[in-house]
Amino acid sequence: MGGEAARDTEAATPRLGATCPAPLVADDASLGAVLWRSGLWRILVVLLVWSVGFSTLLPITPTIFTNFFASRLARQSVDCEATPELPACVDAHAQVVQWSSLTSFVSNSVVSFLFQPLVGDASDRYGRKPFLVAAFVLALLPSAVVVAHLTVPSPGDLLLLYYPASAVSGVVSAIVVCLSYCADKLPARHRTAGFGLIIAAFSLGFVAGPVAGAALSARSAALLALAATAGCAAAVALAVPESLPPAVAALGRQRRAAHPRTHPLNAALSLGRSWALINSRSFFRRLALCLAILGIVQGGVEQTLVQYLQLTLGFTTRDQGALFATLGATNLVVQVLVLPVLVPLLGEKKLLVLGLAVSAVEQALLAVAAAKWQALGAIALGSIAGVSFPAISAMKANHCSDDEQGLVQGALGGLRALSTGLGPLLYSALFAACTTTGGALSGRPGLVFWASAALTAASLAVAVTVRVPEAPAAAAAATTGEEVGVVAAFDAEVAIGAEAAAEPAGPFHLKVDCGGPGGGGDRDGDGKGDAAASPDQRRRPRPRGAAWGAEERAPLLPEGARR
């Protein structure tokens, strides 16, 4: 009896260096049964409610900010939907872009870069639930500022607090913690479908929310966003169980104590080694250049598009609701239906070339759009361009060995964070020159999107010259249409896994690692985890150079849905 007890204690004790298997569930358990038993369905409901709530703000905030800055310039209350030709309204668009671009730079290139690895590391030690609650609490801040601005009789410059509130809300990403929660709860064979359900729940809300926001008054929409986010925070705190078993959390703390060099702040010191690896191969250099150009264009277009459409085509709150609903619906179609078909037909490089070519056409069409339906059609077509980032993600993962994954992902992830932060600053200067009274290129707002088309064409030219090295057979087999099909539209990759912290991880790479010999599995949904893995399970390596498997690849969010 004593020997058996000792063996049981040893099996249940986390061991440093152990490899995490999939959660242990019955072989015949369906996805629906696992979702219900584990309580993961609660997360799907929370995400749907949250995405509907916060996306109600999307069609109204551009108009609110245009009117706010126009009123500051005119020194009186101005409604730019009623009087768009006023000089104050014309110049206000550039001010909105300038403020939002600076916020985007701080959020992407500073806040996310510094805090996302720290949050991922801490969630491996203390569990997912505290950080999911924190994410929703921080997400309350921007909505609260908008509600206060619309409620206070004389708000003055109160609305300017929206920008720092938005930057602070990016410290913890709710969607990323939800992905990690999903990986903790689901066995490997259900993770791809589980990730897809999470993104589908988010995307469905992203379709419905803008339509509701356009139909409601500005104050009602803001109150709905605030109430939905507060309800989600309360629901997670009261009704959602912790997904990370105590034994696995203990393993994460032991790893950090035994290997302090794996702390994210210390791992960041290896950035020079990451870039040395990128610079050593033409394949990675060209891929990095494509990624940088694409990041600049994406970041810049996200910040200028709505103001450009307001200025040139007279988009109203209702039009902006249709814009965001179109964006959400078309990206959902591409993610669920188009990408799984294109991956096996075209392969990674041709998929990247297709995405860039469509993006260049989209930018050119926006530059010459003379009617609202033309702009909406160009944006719907441009949803196909969302395949570019998944293609780059697969290419960079498939063509480096296991011991280089962290270095490559860290360098390219950091590059994308930097480029998507710098892009809005560059576009802000160009947009101001093209639209403000007395600007160097005043009266030519279409130049912004001609510049986007030219930059995208340059990235396309680089992509065409990329020579893809022969991938190992295991890597080629690992990338399937189903797996990459979940990875669509927006490369939201965040370092979360316990082992991911051993190498410098970029702020948007998610290597899902359930953490320890118990596998992080919780087949009973009781938050205590399941039995320890067998020695055979602990020894299973991934083939050297193989692509991230379905259980390790993070799905991507819809374009334009960063916050």
Instruction: Write the single-letter amino acid at 188.
Output: A
Q: How far apart are CA 155 and CA 64, in angstroms?
A: 13
- The encoded tokens of residue 280 equal 């050593």
Q: How far apart are CA 495 and CA 509, in angstroms?
A: 5
Q: How far apart are CA 439 and CA 410, in angstroms?
A: 39
Q: Cβ-count burial of 398 within 10 angstroms (0-12 exposed, 13-18 middle, 19+ buried)?
A: buried
Query: Does 361 reside within a domain?
Result: yes
Q: How far apart are CA 390 and CA 346, in angstroms?
A: 13
Query: Does 526 reside within a domain?
Result: no
Instruction: Name the more confident of 77 and 497.
Output: 77
pLDDT digits (tens, 9 = 90+) for 106-132: 887 777 767 766 776 677 777 888 888
Query: Does 527 reside within a domain?
Result: no
- Please report which confidence band the pLDDT of residue 278 belongs to, taking 50, 70 and 90 as the band edges: low
Chain centroid to CA 229: how far?
18
Average pLDDT of the segment spanning 214-233: 92
CATH number at residue 243: 1.20.1250.20
Burial 340-379, CB ≥16 within 10 A → b, else e: bebbeeebbeebbbbbbbbbbbbbbbbbebeebeebbebb
* Location of structure tokens 């993006």: 359
The SS3 of residue 504 is coil
DSSP character string of 439-462:
-TTTT-TTHHHHHHHHHHHHHHHH
Query: Does 552 reside within a domain?
Result: no
Task: Identify whether the C-beta of residue 372 lies closer than 8 Å to the C-beta of residue 315.
Answer: yes
Query: Does 15 reside within a domain?
Result: no
Per-residue pLDDT at 495: 31
Query: Does 107 reside within a domain?
Result: yes
Query: Does 86 reside within a domain?
Result: yes
Question: What is the number of structural domains in the chain?
Answer: 1
Q: How far apart are CA 271 and CA 503, in angstroms?
A: 9
pLDDT digits (tens, 9 = 90+) for 12-53: 333 333 334 444 445 456 777 777 887 788 888 998 999 999
Q: How far apart are CA 201 and CA 195, in angstroms?
A: 10
Query: Does 72 reside within a domain?
Result: yes
* Location of structure tokens 């469905």: 204
**Domain range holding 143?**
20-249+262-514
Q: How far apart are CA 424 and CA 408, in angstroms?
A: 25
pLDDT digits (tens, 9 = 90+) for 424-482: 899 999 999 999 887 788 888 999 999 999 999 999 999 998 887 765 444 444 444 44
CB atoms within 10 A of CB 447: 16
Task: Identify whether the C-beta of residue 115 lies closer than 8 Å to the C-beta of residue 131.
Answer: no
* pTM greater than 0.75 (yes/no): no
